[in-house]
Amino acid sequence: MTMLSNVEIREAIEAGQIGITPFLPENIQPASIDLTLGGGFIPHYDRRSTGYHEIRTAVDPLRPSDENITIRTRAAILSDHCYILRGCHGYTLGCTAERVTLGPDIAAQVGGKSSLARMGIEVHLTAGFIDPGFDGAITLEVVNNGPDDILLTVGMPIAQLVFYRLGKPANPPYQGRYQGATGTEESKYHIGRGA
């Protein structure tokens, strides 16, 4: 397996071996492509918490660090476009805005953005591998390991995807239970084998 460079990523997109929809050429990095946050948050609340019935101050990664925002809210989901990810291990499922399509000889690995990691944000727990043949939005398991609440906004850069070319195409390629995902997918572990 070989990791693809930016030149090889562009060539694979042009050849139809990788599909990213919507695709912005400026999102290609030296050996990855940036993905943005889609909507459809599925929160997992801390059962010990009293909830979000309070005034909260959140860090907005899209603003300078000295411009925290204060929000009065009764829920973590502010709208279809914003979500407050609680500090100290707040957790939610989200997804990429982009639909990713991989050919049978291309695999991928989703990882976080370094600037968000410096705030304590992880975008996947252990499920970062994308099988050859996958087609759909990528569900993200977003965790806030930092102390501050973080404002997640639809459209913000949230992850990066690294691609690998296999020695031979997978046969058969991915046909699992998350194929064709159009948004955030909860666990389907109970359905049967296959990721």
- Give the least confident one: 19-33, 55-69, 165-179: 55-69
pLDDT at 149: 85
Q: For residue 45, is pLDDT > 60? A: no
pLDDT at 52: 46
Confidence at residue 63, expressed as pLDDT on a 0 to 100 scale: 73
Strand (E) or helix (H) holding 160:
strand 157-165
Beta bridge partners, 108, equal: 130, 163
Residues in the chain: 195
Q: Quote the CA–CA distance of 72 and 53 in Å, as a whole number.
A: 8
Is the per-residue pLDDT at 46 higher than 70? no
pLDDT at 111: 95
CA angle 6, 7, 13 (to 5 degrees): 85
The model's pLDDT over 136-179, given as tens digits with 9 standing for 90+, comes to 999 999 999 998 888 899 999 999 999 999 999 999 999 999 99
Total Cβ atoms within 10 A of residue 82: 18
Q: Which helix (H) or strand (E) holds 3?
A: strand 2-3
DSSP track, 36-66: EB-S--EEE--TTS--S-EEEEEE-TTS-TT
Got the DSSP string for 64-110? -TT--EEEEESSSEEETTEEEE-TTTEEEEEEEEEEEEE-TTEEEEE
8 is catalytic: no
C-alpha to C-alpha distance for 101 and 104, rounded to whole angstroms: 10
Residue 74, pLDDT score: 46
pLDDT for 67 equals 63
Supply the pLDDT for residue 61.
Answer: 80
d(CA 147, CA 33): 29
The full set of domains in the chain, from first to last, is 2-48+90-147+156-165 (2.70.40.10)
The DSSP H or E segment spanning 144 is strand 135-144
3-class SS of residue 140: strand
Mean predicted lDDT score pLDDT of the chain: 86
Calculate what percentage of the chain has a pLDDT beyond 90.
58
Give the active site residue among 14, 54, 67, 141: 141
Average pLDDT over residues 7-31: 97
pLDDT over 80 at 187, yes or no: yes
Check residues 141 and 85 and name the one with the higher pLDDT.
141
Put simply, whether the predicted model's pTM sits higher than 0.75 gets the answer yes
- pLDDT band with cut points at 50, 70 and 90 for residue 19: very high
